[in-house]
Amino acid sequence: MNTHLLHQIALTLVPNIGAVQARILVDHFGEAPAVFKAKKSSLELLEGIGTVRAQSIKAFSGFKKAEEEIAFIDKYHITPLFLTDTLYPQRLLNCYDPPVMLYYRGKANLNASKIIAVVGTRSKTEYGKHLTEKLVADLEDQQILVVSGLALGIDAAAHKAALKHKLPTVAVMAHGLDKIYPSDNTALAKEILKENGGLLTEFRSKTKPDKHHFPSRNRIVAGMCDAAVVIETDIKGGSMITAELAAGYNRDVFAFPGRTTDNKSAGCHALIKNNKAILLTGAADIVDMLGWTEKKVTPVTRQKELFIQLNHEEKMIVDVLTQNNTVSIDQLREKTCLSASILAASILSLELQNVVSALPGKRYQLL
């Protein structure tokens, strides 16, 4: 029995320990077994844990369920992904509440260089279907990974369009990998696996697709992408939750407009109106906004840098931007390891010196 995996799964079973608390524990102790071996007094001292949660950890006795899950993983060749694993979707680590454990079937790279999430209503119109198919088709040359939720409607259309254009696609599910929901998309799920895509979930086997699991699923869709695209949604629903989460995670959010009288576009219009989404007219908007186009750096830019005195932190940021067309604030934090306050001050200094310019969605590029 893999004791590390046993304790990793067990950590997801401890009462009163959610994703945020689990990350606090792992960040402090380094690995799951160390969490369970820690003294209660050490656990209690951690901010966000306290006495009640510390007691829950020390009193935990549900390792049998973790053993059963390992048996399921082995039987169906599922890849468990703990948040410290290299194959874990690294973009999720920039979110405050990443799942401590994910279960994955498939071959698609969850850390692809370009990832978009496509979400929308379950009751799509021909207009929504056309927008979805055209968007994915026009992004074919970018070799993106398409992420969605395997729901009926726009989600399914996005997965199917990706398959049609030989793009990898990952379906994030709100239940265990022992079933497919909705059952109407069983054949689609099989096709995704056949074409080197993937099925991803944070829920153990035998977990039913209960209503309260879908917002948790949506946060994974929102967090593991570079940008979220909303295609047809009413003012309420899962797509709006995904969009709000993506915006909260500092992801770029795009929304296609529709007719002003069409309720199925009311959510998109609200997102655009409230500056929570960028009005989308086509794939070119995404390519341009995310800096996926190749841009030549002129000699003037390089010459100008020679006459600017930069401190150590500013040089680190410029070095990262020199190697990339545009970089998000999360990527800068990850690559430079600077604190949020120092990073913000350094970026402001670079902007004032006309070295760096800010783009929508908290992205930056060299001038």
pLDDT in tens, the chain (367 residues): 689 999 999 999 999 999 999 999 999 999 999 999 999 999 999 999 999 999 999 999 999 999 999 999 999 999 999 999 999 999 999 898 999 999 999 999 999 999 999 999 999 999 999 999 999 999 999 999 999 999 999 999 999 999 999 999 999 999 999 999 999 999 999 999 999 999 999 999 999 999 999 999 999 999 999 999 999 999 998 999 999 999 999 899 999 999 988 889 999 999 999 999 999 999 999 999 888 876 544 444 444 444 567 888 888 898 888 888 788 888 888 888 887 778 888 888 888 888 888 876 678 888 8
Cα 154 to Cα 175, 221, 264, 278, 345: the distances in Å are: 19, 14, 12, 19, 41
According to CATH, the topology of domain 106-289 is Rossmann fold (3.40.50)
Question: What is the model's pLDDT at position 1?
Answer: 61
Q: Which residues touch 264 (CB under 8 Å, ≥6 apart)? A: 121, 123, 124, 125, 128, 232, 233, 234, 258
Interatomic CA distance for residues 272 and 266, integer angstroms: 10
Cα 128 to Cα 131, 142, 239, 253: the distances in Å are: 5, 22, 14, 17
Question: What is the model's pLDDT at position 64?
Answer: 95
Question: What is the model's pLDDT at position 294?
Answer: 60
Q: Characterize the bridge pairing of strands 363-366 and 356-359.
A: antiparallel
Q: Please, what is the Cα angle at 253 between 247 and 254, to 5 degrees? A: 160
Residue owning tokens 């829950």 = 56
Question: What is the model's pLDDT at position 58?
Answer: 95
Around Cβ 20, how many Cβ atoms within 10 Å? Answer: 13
Radius of gyration for the chain, computed over Cα atoms and rounded to the nearest angstrom: 22
Same fold, 106-289 and 299-366: no
CATH fit for domain 3-75, picks 2.60.15.10, 3.40.50.970, 3.40.50.200, 1.10.150.20 = 1.10.150.20
According to CATH, the topology of domain 299-366 is Arc Repressor Mutant, subunit A (1.10.10)
CB burial string 48-59: b at 16+ within 10 A, e below? ebeeebbebbee
Interatomic CA distance for residues 320 and 180, integer angstroms: 42
Question: What is the model's pLDDT at position 299?
Answer: 42
Question: What is the model's pLDDT at position 79?
Answer: 97
Q: Which of 119, 217, 118 is nearest to 173 (CA)?
A: 217
Question: Mapping DSSP to helix (H, G, I), strand (E, B) and coil, where does residue 254 land?
Answer: strand
How is residue 25 written in tokens?
A: 């524990």
Question: What is the model's pLDDT at position 305?
Answer: 47
Residue spans of the domains in the chain: they are 3-75, 106-289, 299-366
Q: What is the value of pTM for the model shown?
A: 0.80
Question: What is the model's pLDDT at position 334?
Answer: 83
